[in-house]
A and B are shown apart, each in its own frame.
Chain A
Amino acid sequence: MPDLSKFKATGRETCFHGRHIGAQIYDGLDGSNWRLKDYEQRGGYQALRRILGLDGGAGMTPDEVIAEVKSSGLRGRGGAGFPTGLKWSFMPKNYAGPKYLVCNSDEGEPGTCKDRDILAYNPHIVIEGMAIAAYAMGAAAGYNYIHGEIFEVYQRFEQALDEARAAGCLGERILGSSFSFELHAHHGFGAYICGEETALLESIEGKKGQPRFKPPFPASFGVYGRPTTINNTETFAAVPWIIRHGGERYLAVGKPNNGGTKIFSVVGDVNAPGNFEIPLGTPFSKLLELAGGVKGGALKAVIPGGSSAPVLPANIMLDCTMDYDAIAKAGSMLGSGAVIVMNDSRCMVRSLLRLSYFYQHESCGQCTPCREGTGWLWRLVDRIEHGRGRMEDIDVLDSVADNIMGRTICALGDAAAMPVRGMIKHFRDEFVHHVEHKRCAAGTAAALATT
C-alpha cells in the first residue's frame, strides 16, 4: 500500500480550530499531544487518583462517584439523552459474577463525527472516564466498540490502551490500589444498527447486530448475559472533569437539566464544517457563526441531532438554544449533536430520498414494520422525487411512517419514520410541487434530471 498520508485529515479543520467555547474534552489538543504523558500534563488521571484516594485525600466510595455524576446533570451524549448517573445506579450492587462496562464508539449517525476526534486526539480521557465508571459500578472488564470505518482511530485507541496498562492505569490493582479493571477495543465492520446498544452487545458476542427485546435491560442482562452499562464515548469523556471540578460546577456550565458542554458536529452547507464544543444552552445562531455561517445561500433548514431527528425550518431553528429541552420543545431532538445545515437551494424531497435509502439499507430485517416499511418509504419518496408521484402518496408516506413508529424492537424504525414526518410537516409544499409539476421547485432541478 502506498503512502496516502497526504490525503488524511489532520484535525485542524474539525478539532484544533480554536473555535470552541469553554472546552473540557477538546481543550488544549493539537493532534500530536494524545499520549499519556501529554494527557497527564493536562491534568489527566487526576480524577482517577482522587476517587482511589491516591491524591492525599480520603477517596470516594462508588456511591459517592455516582452521586457526583447525578448532581452534574450529565445526560447521555449518544442520542437518547438519558441521565448518566441514574443509568449507573441501575447496575446491581451485590451481583456475584462479572459485570461489564461498554463504550459505544460506533459513531455512524449521519452527520456525527465528534467521537472520532475524541478517540484520535484525546483517547486517554475516555479510558479514564471508563475506569472511573467501572469503579463506580464494580465492573471488572470493559470494551470500547469502535466504528469499523475508522480503523486508524481504533489502532490509535489500542496504542493508548497499551500506554495506560504500562502506566498501571488499567489492569490489576490500578495505580497500586485494590481496584482492578481491564479494557479492550472491539471494532465493528459496517452496520449502522450496531449503534443501538443491544445490537452492539450482540455484535460484541460475535453475532449479527440484531437488537434485543427490552426488558430485560442491559443493566440486568447485557454482554454474555451479565449486568452491563453502555455509554457513549463523549459521555465517558465528560466524567473526569466532573470528578475533578464537581457535579455542581459542571451543571452550572450548561443550564438546568442540561449540564456541561456538548460537542456539536456542524456539517452540510456551512463554510467551516467541524466539531464545536460549547456549553449546552448556547444559541444556535452562535454555533452557526462558529462554523463560518451558511454556505451557498440563505439558511433553509436544519436537522439538529443527526439524520434521525426531524428537520426544523430556519425560523424555528434560529430561535433555539442548543440543549436537549429546547430542541425537544421545538419538535425535534438533540440526538447525537450532529447539526446538518441546508441552504435554500436544497430540495427536501431529494434530501429525504437519500435518508430513506439509508434506513431501508440499514434495517436489520428483524421486525416487519421496519423491514418492509422502510422499503415502502424509500420507494414512495423515490416515486415523488422522480416525477411519478400521486397526490395521495404524500399521505400514504405519512401513514406508513406513522405505522412504523412504536411498533419495532428498537429505535431504527422510529429513526426512519421521524425524518419523513418532519419533512412532510414543514415542507409539504415541496412534495406537492413535485407531484403537480413532475419536477423540483428548488435549485436542484438539473440534478433531478440527471439522477
Chain B
Amino acid sequence: MTFSDDTLARFAREVAKYPPQHKASAVMACLAIVQQEQGFVSTQAEDALAAYLGMPPIAVHEVTTFYNMYNQQPVGKFKLNVCTNLPCQLRDGQTALDHVCSRLGVEPYGTTADGVFTVQPSECLGACADAPVMLVNDRQMLSFMGAERLDELVDTLRAHAADESR
C-alpha cells in the first residue's frame, strides 16, 4: 500500500510534534488518520505505516489491537458507539443502545445489511453529564440522545447515505 501525498502530509504534521528519533510517537495519530480515510486499519496499512515510521510491523499491530477505537475490520459507513457505562446507564445509555439496535435491526457490534450502520456499545466517552452520549465515526460526539433524537439521527444519516449512492 502506498499513501497519497495528502495523507503523507497529514502524517508529517503529526511526526513533527516529536523528537526526530521518536517518530513512533506519531503512530496513534497516523493510524487514526488511516482509519478516517480508509474506514479501518488493514494489515497492509499497518505495514506501510510501519515502514514510514521506522517501526517493526508488529509494534504497529500491537497499537491497533490494544486501543478500543481502531477498527480491525471494515465497518459500516457510519459507526455508532453508544456509551453504556454506569453513569450513562443511570441516564438511559443502555436504553439508547437498545433503541438504535432495534431500530436498525442489528445486534450490538452488528452492521446493517446495506452496510450503512455499525452499532457498538462503548466504555466511558468522558461526557457523562450529557448522557445518553454517542460517537459517530470516532470524531463526532453527540449528546442527550434520547429516542426521538436517535430516530432523527438515523434518518439524517440514512438520507445522506442514500444521496451519496445515487
A190 partner, pick from B69, B131, B142, beta carbons under 8 A: B69
A190 near B68 with CB under 8 A, answer yes
Q: Are B66 and A208 in contact (CB under 8 A)?
A: yes
Contact of A265 with B32 at beta-carbon distance under 8 Å, contacts A149-B141, A192-B123 already known:
no
Any chain A CB within 8 A of the CB of B97?
Answer: no
**Interface readout for B109-149 with A: 1 if CB under 8 Å, 0 if not?**
00000000000001111111111000111111111110001
A14-B129, A206-B55, A273-B129 are contacts. A189–B142 as well, Cβ < 8 Å?
no
Q: Is B25 an interface residue (CB 8 A)?
A: yes
- Judge if B90 is at the interface, Cβ distance under 8 Å: yes
A189 touches B28 (CB 8 A): yes
Chain B stretch 58-112: residues in CB contact (< 8 A) with chain A: 59, 62-63, 66-70, 84-87, 89-91
Complex Cα distance, B140 from A339, in Å, reads: 26
Say yes or no: is A59 at the interface (Cβ < 8 Å to chain B). Answer: no
Q: Which residues 104-156 in A have Cβ within 8 Å of B in the complex?
A: 107-113, 115-116, 143, 147-152
Number of A-B contacts (CB under 8 A): 187
Q: Which residues of B contact A364 (CB under 8 A)?
A: 66
Partner of B149, one of A7, A9, A110, A203: A7
Asked if A113 meets B160 with Cβ closer than 8 Å, knowing A8-B141, A9-B143, A190-B69, the reply is: no
Known contacts A9-B143, A189-B32, A340-B86; is-contact A205 B22 (Cβ 8 Å): yes
A338 contacts the other chain (CB 8 A): yes
| Bound: A35/B145 CA distance, A | 29
Per-residue A-contact encoding for B23-63, CB less than 8 Å = 1, 0 else = 01111110110000000000000000000010100010011
With A113-B130, A267-B128, A267-B131 already in contact, the answer to whether A191 and B66 are too (CB < 8 A) is yes
Q: Are A205 and B70 in contact (CB under 8 A)?
A: no
In the complex, residue of chain B having the shortest beta-carbon distance to the beta carbon of A3: B156
Tell me whether B25 and A340 are in contact (CB under 8 A). Answer: no
Q: Does A307 contact B (CB under 8 A)?
A: yes
Q: In the complex, how many residues of chain B place their beta carbon closer than 8 angstroms to a beta carbon of chain A?
A: 56
CB nearest to B98 among chain A residues: A450
Q: What residues on B are CB-neighbors of A274 within 8 Å?
A: 129
- CB-CB under 8 A from B18, the residues of chain A are 184
Alpha-carbon distance A209/B51, docked complex (angstroms): 22
On whether A187 and B66 interact (CB within 8 A), knowing A268-B91, A355-B86, the answer reads no
A205–B123 CA distance with the chains assembled, in angstroms: 24
A56 within 8 A of B: no
- Verify if A269 is at the interface (C-beta below 8 Å from B): yes
The reply to whether A207 and B62 contact each other, CB–CB distance below 8 Å, is: yes
Residues of A close to B12: CB separation below 8 A: none
Question: Do A188 and B128 form a contact, CB below 8 Å, given A208-B63, A208-B66?
Answer: no
B66 touches A209 (CB 8 A): yes
The answer to whether A266 and B129 have CB atoms under 8 Å apart is yes
Q: Contact flags (1/0) for A211-224 with B, using CB distance below 8 Å?
A: 00000000000001
> Are B140 and A110 in contact, CB atoms less than 8 angstroms apart?
no
B10 in the interface (beta carbon within 8 A): no
Knowing A8-B142, A186-B25, A340-B87 touch, does A149 contact B63 (C-beta < 8 A)?
A: no
- Please tell me if A238 contacts chain B, counting CB pairs below 8 Å: no
Which residues of chain A from 260 to 309 have any CB-CB distance to chain B below 8 Å in the complex?
Answer: 265-269, 273-275, 307
Is the Cβ of A265 less than 8 Å from the Cβ of B128? yes
Q: How far is it, in angstroms, between the C-alpha of A108 and the C-alpha of B68 when the chains are bound? A: 13
**Min C-beta distance of A191 to chain B, whole Å:** 5
Residues of B within 8 A of A191 (CB): 66-68
Q: What are 15 inter-chain pairs, A to B, with CB distance below 8 A?
A: A2-B156, A2-B159, A7-B153, A13-B130, A13-B144, A110-B128, A149-B135, A149-B141, A186-B28, A267-B90, A273-B130, A340-B128, A342-B90, A355-B86, A358-B85
Q: Which residues of A contact B (CB under 8 A)?
A: 1-2, 4, 7-9, 13-14, 98, 107-113, 115-116, 143, 147-152, 184-192, 203-209, 224, 265-269, 273-275, 307, 338, 340, 342, 346, 351, 354-355, 358, 361-362, 364
